[in-house]
Every structure is written in structure tokens, then in C-alpha cells.
Amino acid sequence: MHRFANPARFLKIARPLTGWLFWSGLLLLLVGVACGLFVTPADYLQGDTVRILYIHVPAAWLGMGGWSGIAIAALMQLVWRHPLAGIAGRAIAMPGALFTAICLVTGSIWGRPTWGTWWEWDGRMTSMLVLLFLYLGYIALANASARDGQGGVSPVTAIFGLVGAINIPIINRSVVWWNSLHQGPSITMRGSSIDMAMLWPLGLTLLGFSLWFGAIVLMRMRAILAQNKVEARLQRLARS
């Protein structure tokens, strides 16, 4: 990873990769969403409401995956002092929070017709809401403790990112440990209880949204690096 400690070398790879991730991700997720809306059959119980899962599941996956990324970046920043780790953490926070919010909103829209309620304080929903608040806290802390010309996050923010990771396994296990309104996991190591006829577009949207997430993170990292450059140049100008 330290090969990419040099921003110039990182940018050489990140610049073309951004476009590839963005357009292939967009294509996959549009195909996946179209197939999920028009090709797959309706559920025997939920009817057409089930189709929201093609958005809801990738959003939940990326909300949790985003924080896992923040935690890994935090570890690399604290232990190996990797210069890009803090920038990666800051870049992940915003799209991670966005996808967590999308997950909560789509879940709520699905819950009203299926369960008969917009919101209940059960384990899964509460822990997911906590994840959204953790993201907001991380963003606020990162902005409040930012140091000029660095673009990364402060060590305190990194520690917060690491500590917050404890919520990820709690979200994952919440429907297993506790009686909850949210159903148990459909896709496990042993297989899937979602019928194959309805499952396959989920693979497309999962992959598509993930590639897109990667593209957004790379864009934001490049933007932060560009801003660092501008600030460094302004400082040099001010001194001369």
C-alpha cells in the first residue's frame, strides 16, 4: 500500500479508474434496476413492494461497507501513518452517510405496506439509525478538527472511526441476537431464501452501486488532493 503513499502515483491510477468505475457501475445498476422493476416477478405476499429491495439491500451494504472502509483507513492512519488513509476516510464518510440514509428511507417506505408501520424501535432499525448518527458525528469531527493543507482527518477522528466499527457486527447480528420486527438474513453462507427468479438483479445492483461508490470515493479523494495542492501553492505565493 505504501507504493501509493506518493499522491502523484496514486493519481496516475485513480484518474482513469474513476471513469471506468463510474460508467460500468452506472450501466450495471441501471440494468439491474430496470430488470428489478420490469422483468422479475412480484412476490407472493408483498406484491410489487418487494422491488424496493434492489435499492434497499445495496444501500444497506454500502452504508456498512463504507464504515468498514473508514475503520480500515483509520487503522492504516494510526498504525502505519499512511498519508492517503486520512484522505480516504474523509472521502468515504459522505457517500457512506448518504447510502445509510437511503437504506433507512427505503426501508421505511417498504415497512408501511408490509408491516403496517413507518418506523419501529427494533434492533435492526435502531442500530442502522445509530450508524447514520455515527457518520454525521464523524463528518462533524473531521471538519472541526481539520488541519490546513493536509486534507485528511485528525487522529481523534480516526480513533472515532475505529471505535464506531463496533456497530457494524451489531447491525449484522441484530436480527439473530434479538427478537426483531425486521426479518432474519435471507442470504447466508448456506444459500438464499430469495427465489433465484427474483435474486439475480440484486447481484447487478449490488455490484453496480459498489463500483459507483468506489468512483465517488476516488473523485472525492482527488478533489481533496487537488485542494491541498492549491493551498500549498497559495502559501508559497504568500511567502515569496
Partner 1 sequence: MKAKHQRLILALVALAALIGAGLLAASALKDEAAYFYAPADVKSKGVEPGKAIRLGGMVVKGSLKRAADGVTIHFDVTDGKATVPASFSGIAPDLFKEGSGVVAEGAFDGKGVFVATNLLAKHDERYMPRELEGMSYNETTHQMKAEK
Using rule CB under 8 A, residue 44 touches partner 1: yes
Count of residues of this chain found to bind partner 1 when the rule CB under 8 A is applied: 47
Q: Which residues contact 121 (CB under 8 A, 6 or more apart)?
A: none
Least separation in angstroms between CB 108 and partner 1: 14
The C-alpha cell of 95 is what?
457517500
Sign of CA dihedral 138, 139, 144, 145: positive
Which of 183, 227 has the CB closer to partner 1?
183
- The mark string for 145-174 relative to partner 1 (x by CB under 8 A, - otherwise) is -----------------xx--x--xx--x-
What is the 8-class DSSP label of residue 47?
B
If one asks whether residue 121 binds partner 1 (CB under 8 A), the answer comes out as yes
Cell numbers for 167: 456497530
User: What is the closest distance, in whole angstroms, from the C-beta atom of residue 238 to partner 1 in the complex?
Assistant: 34
In whole angstroms, how close is the CB of 113 to partner 1 at the nearest point? 7
Give the separation between CA 127 and CA 96, rounded to whole angstroms: 15
Select from 10-18, 23-31, 114-122, 227-235 the region that touches partner 1 (CB under 8 A): 114-122
Please say which residue, 25 or 161, places its beta carbon nearer to partner 1. 161
Classify burial at 41, counting beta carbons within 10 Å of its beta carbon; exposed 0-12, middle 13-18, buried 19 or more.
exposed
Q: Which is nearer to partner 1, 18 or 174 (CB)?
A: 174
Q: With binding defined as CB under 8 A, does residue 192 bind partner 1? A: yes
Specify the residue, 73 or 215, whose C-beta has the smaller distance to partner 1.
73
How many Å apart are CA 196 and CA 186, to the nearest integer? Answer: 12
Quick check: 42 binds partner 1 (CB under 8 A)? Answer: yes
Contacts of 163 (CB under 8 A, 6+ apart): none
| Strand, helix or coil for residue 229 | helix
d(CA 19, CA 147): 30
Q: Would you say 203 and 53 are in contact if contact means Cβ atoms under 8 Å apart?
A: no
> Is 38 one of the binding residues for partner 1 (CB under 8 A)?
no
Residue 113 or 149: the one with the smaller Cβ distance to partner 1 is: 113
CB of 163 to partner 1, least distance (A): 6
Write out the three cell numbers for 217.
470515493
* Residues of this chain that bind partner 1 (CB under 8 A): 40-46, 50, 53, 75, 78-81, 113-117, 120-123, 162-163, 166, 169-170, 173, 177-181, 183-186, 190-195, 197-199
